[in-house]
Amino acid sequence: MSNRKYELQAARIESVLGAHKVPARVWQATVTPRFVRFDVTTALGTKLTKVSSLAEELAFSLGARDARVYREGGVLHVEVPRETPRAVELLPLCGRLANVPAMCAVLGVDDGGVPLLLRLDSPDVAHVLLAGATGSGKTALARTLLLSLAMHNPAGRLQMVLIDPKGRGLAPLAELPHLWPGMGRLSAVASQVWHAAGTPTGQPGVVQDVATAAGLLDLVVAEMERRDAAGCALPRLIVAIDELADLLTTGGKAVAEALTRLTQRGREAGIHVLAATQRPAAALVGGMMKANFPVRLVGSVTSPEDAKVAAGIAGTHAERLLGRGDFLLVAKGQVIRFQAAYVSASEMGATAARIRAGGRRRRSWSA
């Protein structure tokens, strides 16, 4: 630890623990955009509960609003929020990356500051459930994920359906050329449905009306069946839903059945579902649909029970996350903590305009 400030904080941690007869040594400090994590070695036989009970006193000694004490593998961590959190901006982050593979979404950076990517067409991914309480940053992360995909994949290989019952979360993405059926290849039946809904063909925007959303999901199911029969999976189609619980509550059985079919069979047809919700309770989302989301992006929640429901496994401690972009990636039983990248509404609009104009050169993203 070369930074004098963190050396002093490490000494204070050792002093507090030593005063309570817990001999300890802090041997490393990791600084992330949102928090500082100290790695601590204690005497053999020290109980974690004893150190955890000193969290409030540790926070007080470090001048922090709180402290988190937890074990990760064989390492004990003491984590405190930074006084001035630093945002991870999507466009400069993408500008740093030499190459983003096809169908990879840029999520943010992990604890070590390494960019974290999620390959949507991987057999282990397919569909993504994004959960977190109000203020966790789940809608902002959904926008980041979708925009980063659009930045690095041409509209001929990637299309999107955007469903947002509240009409606010996904609206900044409405000008992307990737929106399905914006490629002008609607079937006659699909054109009639869109015309009846009052949405101009080729400019679908963000679907807010529940009845229109239900009809659109039926069209996506039909597209899945067409692709299955033809043995094709391109272009990739992402069905993005903000406020999933609201859509299921108002859309009822028809919406639930369509989403269940898409999450069960969509992967082989190149169709992926990204759904964001506050709390994906089985009673609302449905066990069958829930089981088909192998990847979870979990933000801060209010209780350990909500953390278990959101992550699909116990012990992630999502209830201790700091909010505002502090997330967990949960996949195949593994948990990775990361700070989600952020992009403002104005930057999204400008980036969408550049994409529409054909400006996909990497160096332009951070300009």
DSSP category for residue 207: B
Q: Can you tell me the mean pLDDT for 7-36?
A: 92
Distance CA 352, CA 251 (A): 30
Residue 184 has pLDDT above 70, yes or no: no
Render 296-339 in DSSP notation, one character per residue.
EEE---SSHHHHHHHHSSS---GGG--SSSEEEEEETTEEEEEE
- Residue with structure tokens 């990637």? 158
- pLDDT band for position 55 (50/70/90)? very high
Greater confidence, 163 or 98? Answer: 163
| Helix/strand/coil percentages in the chain, nearest 5 | 40, 25, 40
Q: Can you tell me the mean pLDDT for 215-237?
A: 95
3-state secondary structure of 56: helix
Q: Can you tell me the mean pLDDT for 246-251?
A: 92
Residue 3 has pLDDT above 90, yes or no: no
The model's pLDDT over 137-165, given as tens digits with 9 standing for 90+, comes to 999 999 999 999 999 999 999 999 999 98
Cβ(297)–Cβ(127) below 8 Å: no
- Residue with structure tokens 């929640």? 301
3-state secondary structure of 290: helix
- pLDDT band for position 203 (50/70/90)? very low
Q: Which residue intervals of 97-239 are DSSP H helices?
A: 138-152, 188-196, 210-230
Residue 194 has pLDDT above 70, yes or no: no
Q: Can you tell me the mean pLDDT for 352-364?
A: 71
Structure tokens at 201: 């063909």
Most confident residue range from 68-77, 194-203, 228-237, 272-281: 228-237
Render 1-23 in DSSP notation, one character per residue.
---HHHHHHHHHHHHHHHHTT--
Q: At what angle do helices 55-62 and 4-19 cross, to 10 degrees?
A: 140
3-state secondary structure of 219: helix
What's the whole-model pTM score? 0.83
The model's pLDDT over 252-279, given as tens digits with 9 standing for 90+, comes to 999 999 999 999 999 999 999 999 998 7
Q: 14-18: which pairs have CB atoms within 8 A and are 24 or more residues apart?
A: 15/61, 16/54, 16/57, 16/58, 16/61, 17/42, 17/51, 17/54, 17/58
- Residue with structure tokens 């000494």? 11
Which has the minimum average pLDDT: 122-131, 137-146, 173-182, 258-267?
173-182
Total H helices, total E strands in the chain: 12, 14
Fold classified for 88-364: Rossmann fold (3.40.50)
- pLDDT band for position 359 (50/70/90)? low
Other CB atoms within 10 A of residue 188 CB: 6
Q: 4-81 in CATH: which number?
A: 3.30.980.40
Structure tokens at 263: 């999450």
Structure tokens at 298: 């979990």
Q: In the prediction, which pLDDT does 286 show?
A: 77
- pLDDT band for position 121 (50/70/90)? very high
Residue 187 has pLDDT above 50, yes or no: no
Burial class (CB in 10 A: 0-12, 13-18, 19+), 277: buried
Average of per-residue pLDDT values in the chain: 87
Other CB atoms within 10 A of residue 324 CB: 17
Q: In the chain, pLDDT over 70 holds for what percent of residues? A: 90
Q: In the prediction, which pLDDT does 331 show?
A: 94
In the chain, what are the domain boundaries? 4-81, 88-364
Q: In the prediction, which pLDDT does 182 show?
A: 35
Distance CA 233, CA 157 (A): 10
Q: In the prediction, which pLDDT does 98 show?
A: 83
Distance CA 221, CA 48 (A): 50
Q: In the prediction, which pLDDT does 259 show?
A: 95
Residue 1 has pLDDT above 50, yes or no: no
